Amino acid sequence: MKTGHDVLELSPVLPVVVVDDAADAVPLAKALVAGGIRAIELTLRTPAGLAAIERVAAEVPEIVVGAGTVVTPEQARQAADAGSAFLVTPGCTDRLLEAVSGTGLPFLPGVSTVSEAMRVAEHGITALKFFPAEASGGAAYLKALGGPLPQLRFCPTGGVTVQNAPTYLALSTVGCVGGTWLTPKDAVAAGDFGRIEQLAREAAALR
Ligand code: 3PG
């Protein structure tokens, strides 16, 4: 995997995962694999995020693990050291862009407007996260953005569900979609990994 475009090809759905306990990450990742999903974005939204990345990278070789919600240059470096195969940021600043590029890892910087997308493209980056997708105008917005900027490809996330995912996946500018719906908080808390496997199976069948 060399670029953000490779990240977009990993899976039709990139699960965006929040864990409170790093110990949950391994059975959760195994449930995703059992359901046919081979990529996971573990967010740095909780203190358990980095340890979760380390554990999945070490214990579940069948899945490609990346770090999500990377919002500071320090987090970019920590996520790389923890064994992330890719990085995802919800938005981007010049400092953050420099830091994520500096890790040498493939990454998806987050954008939600035409000008943000153009600014990132000026750096030669053409694989992006579109966030927050539904709140920013959804598939209709993303389709319109592809008119003047057809060279850009996206992973829309934020409000994406198994119901609306096909509308995004039908766009030529969408490589994959992302979302938290595959790993509901209550299922993780209850250790209901069978439910996660089932949600993963449905998601894997979307394309
Ligand atoms: C993200 O960071 O990609 C989003 O928080 C995912 O949003 P969702 O919970 O609406 O899927």
What's residue 137's pLDDT?
Answer: 98
Residue 172's pLDDT is what? 96
183 lines ligand 1 (CB under 6 A): no
Average pLDDT estimate for 3-30: 97
CB 48 within 8 A of CB 69: no
User: What is the pLDDT at residue 207?
Assistant: 84
Across the beta sheet with 110-111, the strand order is 110-111, 127-130, 153-156
Q: Is 2 a catalytic residue?
A: no
The whole-angstrom separation of Cα 10 and Cα 40 is 9
| 106 ligand 1 Cβ < 6 A | no
Q: Is it the case that residue 20 has pLDDT exceeding 90?
A: yes
4-201: which CATH number, 3.40.470.10, 3.20.20.70, 3.60.110.10, 3.30.1490.20? Answer: 3.20.20.70
DSSP code at position 158: S
| Residue of 30, 54, 129, 197 marked catalytic | 129
User: pTM above 0.95?
Assistant: yes
Contact criterion met (CB below 8 Å) for 93 and 41: no
Task: State whether the beta carbon of 66 lies less than 6 angstroms from ligand 1.
Answer: no
Which of 40, 180, 188 is the best mutation target for the ligand 1 pocket, counting ligand atoms within 8 Å of the beta carbon and taking the most? Answer: 180
Residue 165's region, left for phi above 0, alpha for psi from -120 to 50, else beta, is alpha
Please write the tens of the pLDDT for every residue from 116-147: 999 999 999 999 999 999 999 999 999 999 99
Over residues 66-108, the pLDDT tens digits come to 999 999 999 999 999 999 999 999 999 999 999 999 999 999 9
Measuring from atom 7 of ligand 1, which residue has the nearest CA? Answer: 158
pLDDT in tens, 27-76: 999 999 999 999 999 999 999 999 999 999 999 999 999 999 999 999 99
